[in-house]
Structure 1
Amino acid sequence: MSELDFTAEGTVFDIQRYSIHDGPGLRTIVFLKGCPLRCRWCSNPESQAPEPELFFRASACIGCGQCVPVCPVQALSKANPGFVDRTKCIKCGECTKVCPTEALKRTGRRMSLAEVMQELRKDAIHYRRSGGGVTLSGGEPLMQSAFAKQILMACHEQGWNTAMETTGCTTREVIREVIPHVDHLLMDIKAINPTVHAANTGVDNRIILENALIAAALSPNPVVRIPVVPGVNDNVTEIGAIADFAKLMPKVNTVHLLPYHSFGENKYTLLGRRYPLEGVKDMRPEAVAPLQAVVEAAGLKCVIGG
């Protein structure tokens, strides 16, 4: 086992406490920044770019103008649509330091392993009492594979359970290096049809499916997760194909169907971007029932939600 390096750093965009949907028990989720996919339904668009980004909340802006002179590249002006000229902005965060209402806010910051563990120790009593632990998510946590491995190893040193939500879009070497440190693998599979996958995520799924087979063999508790998205994979053909593939994955006996929701739509506005699925309505749980039947017909346990 490699030595722990508490000075090792990664980019974290959120640490969320008291989760009950991303592994057993009460969990703390560490969200690592960066993702090779561009899923059209992504609810954390601030996770996609590896570097910190700038949120601008127009409703909180009081027009004081204190941010304008501190911007080193003159990216801020009332004359700009959306106030921030995203083509100029270097995401340095200087403007956020003087904004009195936090209308301007930087998302994502560099943290050392020591700093992450300091945050996680605050919840250690909940892990012990509930059988919970720490989950890595993103973005795609394996884009920061060395840092992810350090967090997982440090958690195991504390006796904490570990989980990871991943797309598997990485190299085989990374899968073999990191997944043995994951107690509960939450493997996201969006589609089996490569055309459907590429059209809706921006990447081919060949390496994802290959890595899913390897990762499931390396983790003691693998689960397949399917975000069910209208017009993408909300049909028996695609869900049936994923269920058939899940049966090939070692030790997988459970599939989670995650009905589409638009909770992250506002974040696109904060980033000055348009939401790709604008106007698509959230899925009701009963709309997923026919797809649940398909999964169960394949001999797999099916859970709606996390």
Structure 2
Amino acid sequence: MERKALIFNVQKYNMYDGPGIRTIVFFKGCPLRCKWCANPEGLERKIQVMFKKNSCVSCGLCVDACPVGIHEITPEGVHRVRRDIDCTGCGKCRSVCPQAALEINGQVRTVSELLKMVEEDAAFYSMSGGGVTLGGGECTSQPEAARELLMACRSEGIHTAIETCGHTKPDKLFSIAEYVDLFLFDIKHMDPKRHNELTGIGNERILSNLKELLTRRYNVKVRMPMLKGINDSREEINQVIQFLLPFRDDPNFKGVDLLPYHKMGVGKYSQLDIPYPIEGDPSLSQEELDRIEGWMKACNFPVTVVRH
């Protein structure tokens, strides 16, 4: 039986996540719970209902349509999505909603189906030096499906990349690695305790995997989500520099991307009935980003500020 993956989006014409024009395949499931995550719909490895409360008129049509009872009208006459019941992904509630207030997040796709979607833009990859990037969520949370899709893309001459938080068993990571042309590997914080506070998991395995990838000469670009008061201090940046310094001049180390915090994913939290974990606005000013970029360039690191 052909391998299948649970995904939540296939995004075409991406210019930010790897070289050239790319197609991004977003896998569901992630071991981390980063407070600033822009894709909360990718955290759980299951199909979910996304509910735009402000669009709903509580007509109850979805209640009658849902075969497993996810939707209900409360005694106060308000539509509520029951998060204790798993969605089957049938889409019946979505099809009957007159206000387009419901979306089904999560689709099961075979590797062949995904490859066909990726291949649709092969001409753009050839023209721009682009390809496919597996993102999420975290693609290594579905290692067999990720590996088979990467193998299939490679066999068609398509450049492959993955975005990864790096928290996975080494044997799973390196079973995938031989089919990855470029790793986009996150460093979120260097201190294990603080990393745990921010993401729910320590960083020991993450940093070990990163060091091993670089040591084995896989192509790696480090990515750093940047948040004011969280990981923008001189001390934190110096620790990143010291960690990466032994690899700075290796041709397989492709430099550092700084990813400024943004709020593009905030609205999705309420659609999933999840409280947004960050209070205030940890955005960095242009001056602050320029300063961090300057610290890294002063140590001869190739660094880019990536703005969406």
TM-score between the two structures when normalised by the length of structure 1: 0.92
Match in the other structure for 1:90? 86
Match in the other structure for 1:47? 42
Distance in 2, Cα, partners of 1:12 & 1:23? 19
The verdict on how the C-alpha distance between 1:9 and 1:237 changes in structure 2, with shifts beyond 3 A counting, is same
Match in the other structure for 1:19? 14
Bigger Cα displacement from structure 2, 261-270 vs 99-108: 99-108
Distance in 2, Cα, partners of 1:82 & 1:275? 22
Match in the other structure for 1:183? 181
CA distances 1:54-108 after superposition (whole Å, capped 9, x unpaired): 1001233243321112333364225579832434332234422422333111111
Structure 1 letter corresponding to 2:26: F
Structure 1 letter corresponding to 2:264: F
Bigger Cα displacement from structure 2, 271-280 vs 204-213: 271-280
CA distances 1:269-301 after superposition (whole Å, capped 9, x unpaired): 111111111332533333212211221233211
1:73 paired with 2:69, answer yes
Contact 1:185 1:222 in 2 (8 A): yes
What is the CA-CA distance between 1:242 and the residue it aligns to? 1.3
Q: How many residues align?
A: 301
The verdict on how the C-alpha distance between 1:295 and 1:82 changes in structure 2, with shifts beyond 3 A counting, is farther
Q: Please list, as runs of the form range in 1=range in 2, the aligned pairs for 1:1-306 lying within 5 A after superposition.
A: 7-71=2-66, 72-73=68-69, 75-79=71-75, 83-93=79-89, 94-218=92-216, 220-249=218-247, 251-305=252-306
Percent identity at matched positions? 36
Counterpart secondary structure, 1:291 = helix
Distance in 2, Cα, partners of 1:280 & 1:46? 21
Structure 1 letter corresponding to 2:8: F
Distance in 2, Cα, partners of 1:140 & 1:218? 22
Counterpart secondary structure, 1:280 = coil
Bigger Cα displacement from structure 2, 60-69 vs 28-37: 60-69
Q: CA RMSD in A?
A: 2.0
Contact 1:179 1:218 in 2 (8 A): no
Distance in 2, Cα, partners of 1:222 & 1:87? 38
Counterpart secondary structure, 1:223 = strand
The verdict on how the C-alpha distance between 1:216 and 1:281 changes in structure 2, with shifts beyond 3 A counting, is same
What is the CA-CA distance between 1:223 and the residue it aligns to? 0.7
CA distances 1:2-23 after superposition (whole Å, capped 9, x unpaired): xxx7x21010101111111111
| Structure 1: runs of 5 or more not aligned | none
The verdict on how the C-alpha distance between 1:82 and 1:228 changes in structure 2, with shifts beyond 3 A counting, is farther
Contact 1:73 1:88 in 2 (8 A): no
